[in-house]
Amino acid sequence: MTMTEPISEKSDFIRDIINEDQQAEKFQQRVHTRFPPEPNGYLHIGHAKSICLNYGIAREYNGKFNLRFDDTNPTKEDQEYVDSIIDDVKWLGGDFEDRLFYASDYFDRMYEWAEKLIAHGKAYVCDLTGDEIRAMRGTLTEPGSESPYRTRSAEENLALFARMKSGEFPDGTKTLRAKIDMASPNINMRDPIMYRIVHEEHHRQGSTWCIYPTYDWAHGLEDSIEGVTHSICTLEFENHRPLYDWYIEQLGIFHPRQIEFARLNLTYTILSKRKLLRLVQEHHVSGWDDPRMPTIVGYRRRGYTADAIKNFCDIIGVAKRDSTIDVALLEHGIREDLNTKAARVMAVLHPVKVIITNYPEGSVESLEAVNNPEDETAGTRQLPFGREIYIEQDDFREVPPPKYYRLSPGTEVRLRYAYIIKCETIVKDDNGTITEIHCTYDADTRSGMPGASRKVKATIHWVSANDAVDAEVRLYDRLFVKENPDDAEEGNDFLSNLNPHSLQVLQQCKVERMLGAAAPGDRFQFERLGYFCADARDTKPGAPVFNRIVSLRDAWAKIEQKGQQKK
Ligand code: ATP
Ligand code: MG
């Protein structure tokens, strides 16, 4: 490979920029990226996109990838979030090796750099309140006005800044501001705040500090200290780039390149930490790891695989314009991934008992079932079959509607991996509810018998009554009823679009015996029903709880088919 050939096989505007930098021998052809979460919440699928992008680029260019906590705001941050974020980044395969950093470890250096700017007349201590600063900032069309404290001498500023640091002043009474240009067309350049006074315990620094750097002041310094070459962030920081560059240029330190891309938006999904926190705090979900949450911990508990999430992030790619991705695409990817990985099993969610009246009482036989038709190495298993089985209530109709081919009085169906049965009579209780369906079986129709190939119109799943284990099954649906959950009626917010049926809990479902031994996190395809995962919190030996990961209905495949038909 020659120097001028792009190294990455993928192509997008970010990789184009990096390829140009490589060719221009900028950064000595190093590529170093980072993922810089603020530990004030759990990571969601949008963060996964950022992790996959940053880590993916580092890997493709033989570069490095850092995990750095941007822990500059003590009021909202917590060790709980730090721990979960580390875990999630690793789970997604973001390998930061030994490069786990904390912005708060750089506070001393940032403080010295602030002193340097003050000494050079590039920063000043301002006594205006937050409201006053905001009021004097001007608008998009009008310049701002200068603070009366702007002309303080460097000596006075240095002394005041030291007193701010030593805790002499209450919260909000002073700030350190960069002295740039109150008439700049870019409002971010109108003497932005560098430090605020916040008397609050920091999750790592304790009470060492009572002044905290703002994002804009801190972020470029963090990148520079770590030797990050390409600082990739979301579009809302585009207008902050001149400030990012200004601080670094004033200090004359290593200058990373900030590149912005459009953040991920998903239909039927909220991806704002603040709103996700509300869902948790106001108990609309059971926690950050509720399987309906778009958090990584939620998806993991639901049963989504890291491979499918990474693949999704690859497919959607990066763009410079905001757009919204159809959540069906994510669900489609989960199905595709699980199709090859998940063993097929039988589970009956709404059971009704079938008694096969001509089957010898007390007799049990073993039938062979394929574990995964998509994976030959998955082998087969033996299913016990006996006189009493469970089938789905929905697979029987006393009065079948037109084109209903499953079981009804006098008709036949095939039992998966077993016999053809025929409905003879039904038994009802006093309320008219069907309690038993009495059938006969055709002993000639099991695999290996001459009648094995006899065709009937439907095949249904079942579980042997003697062998069945009771399970709880949780059926999840989308958390919001609207494609854009923020699109609420006047006076309402996104909570008014919550889906009241996003969780349905079924007790006493009947599942194959082997599922009683499912380990937390094990994934299966329940034949004809969908993909399910043994809940990591609530599954107990012999008492499994299953989360529905996705149903088998693939809305995305349908959309794709339609698209192809049109072509
Ligand atoms: P908030 O939800 O409060 O706006 P945030 O999601 O930006 O916060 P950070 O912890 O600052 O929280 O995010 C860490 C990194 O993840 C940032 O680089 C940010 O740009 C990126 N990121 C956050 N949300 C998305 C998203 N929806 N799509 C892509 N990247 C994202
Ligand atoms: Mg942010």
Distance, CA of 125 to CA of 107 (rounded, Å) = 18
DSSP for 142-168, written as a single string: S-----TTTT--HHHHHHHHHHHHTT-
**How far does residue 133's CA lie from ligand 2's centre (Å)?**
22
Same domain as 413, residue 532: yes
Of 476, 183, 528, the C-alpha closest to 348 is 528
Say whether both 352 and 239 belong to one domain: no
Report the distance separating Cα 321 and Cα 563, nearest Å. Answer: 23
CB-ligand 1 contact for 263 (6 Å cutoff): yes
Determine whether 556 is exposed, middle or buried from the number of CB atoms within 10 Å of its CB (0-12, 13-18, 19+): middle
Q: From residue 26, give the alpha-carbon distance in Å to each of 22, 32, 242.
A: 6, 12, 20
Do 159 and 25 share a structural domain? yes
253 and 354 housed in the same domain: no
Of the candidates 310, 322, 313, which has an alpha carbon nearest to the alpha carbon of residue 261?
A: 322
Lowest-confidence range among 3-7, 71-75, 189-193, 511-515? 3-7
Phi-psi region of 93 (alpha: psi -120 to 50; beta: other; left: phi over 0): left
CATH number of residue 150's parent domain: 3.40.50.620
pLDDT, greater one: 91 or 1: 91
The CA 40 to ligand 2 mean position distance, Å, reads: 10
Q: Token digits for 176? A: 């350190």
3-state helix/strand/coil string of 16-51 = HHHHHHHHCCHHHHCCEEEECCCCCCCCEHHHHHHH
Cα 338 to chain centroid, rounded: 17
* Nearest protein CA to atom 8 of ligand 1, as residue: 273
Strand 463-464 and strand 459-460: the pairing is unpaired
Q: Write the CA distances from 213 to 23, 123, 399, 435, integer angstroms.
A: 36, 13, 72, 69
Ligand 1 midpoint to CA 196 (Å): 22
* Candidates 76, 109, 116, 263; catalytic one: 263
Dist. CA 240 → ligand 2 center (Å) = 13
Percent of the chain with pLDDT over 70: 97
Contact by Cβ (8 Å): 369, 417: yes
Closest atom of ligand 1 to CA, residue 276: 2
Same domain, 248 and 356: no
Q: 362 and 238 in one domain?
A: no
Query: Taking a C-beta distance cutoff of 8 angstroms, is the pair 95, 55 a contact?
Result: yes
Give, as one character, the DSSP assignment of residue 497. G
Is the per-residue pLDDT at 436 higher than 60?
A: yes
278 inside domain: no
d(CA 473, CA 508): 8
C-alpha of residue 77 to centroid of ligand 2, in Å = 13
Q: What is the Cβ-side half-sphere exposure of residue 275, based on CA atoms within 13 angstroms?
A: 17
Nearest CA owner, ligand 1 atom 4: 272
Judge whether 5 lies within some domain.
no
pLDDT digits (tens, 9 = 90+) for 503-539: 999 999 999 999 999 999 999 999 999 999 999 999 9
Question: How is residue 83 written in tokens?
Answer: 């721990």
Residue 499 Cβ contacting ligand 1 at under 6 Å = no
Q: Could you tell me if residue 430 is inside a domain? A: yes
Residue of 328, 333, 321, 304 whose CA lies nearest to 264: 321
485 within ligand 1 shell (Cβ under 6 A): no
DSSP H/E element including 555: helix 555-566
* DSSP 8-class letter at 124: E
Query: Does any domain span residue 371?
Result: yes
Q: To 10 degrees, the CA torsion angle through 301, 303, 305, 308?
A: -120
CB of 89 sitting under 6 A from ligand 1: no
Report yes or no: 180 and 246 within 8 Å, Cβ to Cβ.
yes
User: 522: which DSSP letter?
Assistant: -
Given 3-state DSSP classes, what are the helix, strand and coil percentages for the chain, each rounded to the nearest 5?
Answer: 30, 25, 45
Give the tokens for residue 375: 């994976």
Indicate if 310 belongs to the active site: no
Give the CATH number of the domain where residue 461 resides: 2.40.240.10
Assess whether pLDDT exceeds 60 at residue 6: no
Residue 567 has what pLDDT?
46
What spacing in Å lies between the alpha carbon of 124 and ligand 2's midpoint?
26
Q: What total of structural domains would you count in the chain?
A: 2
Domain assignment of residue 539, given as a range: 343-557
Enter the pTM of the model.
0.93
Domain co-membership, 241 together with 384 = no
Q: Report which DSSP code applies to 536.
A: T
Based on the domain organization, do 358 and 484 belong to the same domain?
A: yes
Q: Which string of DSSP letters, residue by residue, matches 390-453?
A: EEEGGGB-SSPPTT--SB-TT-EEEETTS-EEEEEEEEE-TTS-EEEEEEEEETT-STTSGGGG
Domain's final residue, options 235, 261, 287: 261
| Dihedral sign of CA atoms 134, 203, 51, 68 in order | positive
Can you read off the two tokens belonging to residue 529? 């029903």
263 labelled catalytic: yes
Ligand nearest to the CA of 54: 1
Residue-averaged pLDDT of the chain: 95
Catalytic residue among 38, 156, 238, 388: 38
Ligand lying closest to the C-alpha of residue 264: 1
Residue 321 belongs to some domain of the structure: no
Tens digits of residue pLDDT in 324-345: 999 999 999 999 999 999 999 9
Residue ending a domain, among 261, 276, 300, is: 261
Query: 551-562: per-residue pLDDT in tens?
Result: 998 777 766 666
Query: Does the CB atom of residue 73 touch ligand 1 within 6 A?
Result: no
What per-residue confidence (pLDDT) applies to 564?
Answer: 58
Q: Which of 77, 234, 316, 327 to mutate to test the pocket of ligand 1 (most atoms within 8 A of CB)?
A: 234
Q: List CB contacts of 212: < 8 A, sequence separation 6 or more.
A: 72, 73, 74, 195, 196, 198, 202
Q: Is 565 a residue whose pLDDT tops 60?
A: no
In a domain, 115, yes or no: yes
Q: Which atom of ligand 1 lies nearest, measured to the CA of 38?
A: 10
Mutate to test the pocket of ligand 1, among 34, 73, 77, 263 (most ligand atoms within 8 A of CB): 263
How far are the Cα atoms of 77, 109, 166, 186, 195 from residue 114, in angstroms, in the given order? 24, 9, 15, 22, 9
* Residue pointed to by tokens 């053809």: 420
Q: What residue spans of 61-106 are helical by DSSP H? A: 79-91
For residue 24, what are the contacts with CB-CB under 8 A and spacing of at least 6?
A: none
| pLDDT, average across residues 85-102 | 98
Indicate if 273 belongs to the active site: yes
Q: Is the pLDDT of residue 4 over 90?
A: no
Say whether both 94 and 218 belong to one domain: yes
Cβ proximity of 356 and 436 under 8 Å: no
Q: Phi and psi at residue 184, in whole multiples of 5°?
A: -60, 140
**Token pair listed for 266:** 């998903």
Return the amino acid letter for 113.
W
| pLDDT band at residue 563 using 50, 70 and 90 as cut-offs | low
Q: Which two tokens stand for residue 497?
A: 């679009």
Query: Is 22's pLDDT higher than 90?
Result: yes
Are the CB atoms for 549 and 529 separated by under 8 Å? no
Question: Tell me, what's the pLDDT at 77?
Answer: 87
Give the tens place of pLDDT for each residue, 386-398.
999 999 999 999 9
Mention every residue, 6+ apart, whose C-beta is less than 8 A from residue 158.
115, 118, 119
Q: Which two structure tokens, joined as six digits, stand for 448?
A: 């290996």
Ligand 1 atom closest to Cα of residue 237? 20
Res 553: pLDDT: 86
pLDDT at 271: 97
Q: Residue 554: its pLDDT value, please?
A: 77
Per-residue pLDDT at 560 = 66
Least confident segment among 74-83, 212-221, 403-412: 74-83
Domain boundary among 241, 261, 281: 261
Pair (231, 365) in one structural domain: no
Distance 38 CA to ligand 2 centre (A): 7
Atom of ligand 1 nearest to the CA of 271: 27
**Which ligand gives the minimal distance to the CA of 36?**
1
Tell whether 360 is covered by a domain: yes
Domain annotation covers residue 124: yes
Residue 238 reports pLDDT greater than 60: yes
Q: Which atom of ligand 1 lies nearest, measured to the CA of 232?
A: 18
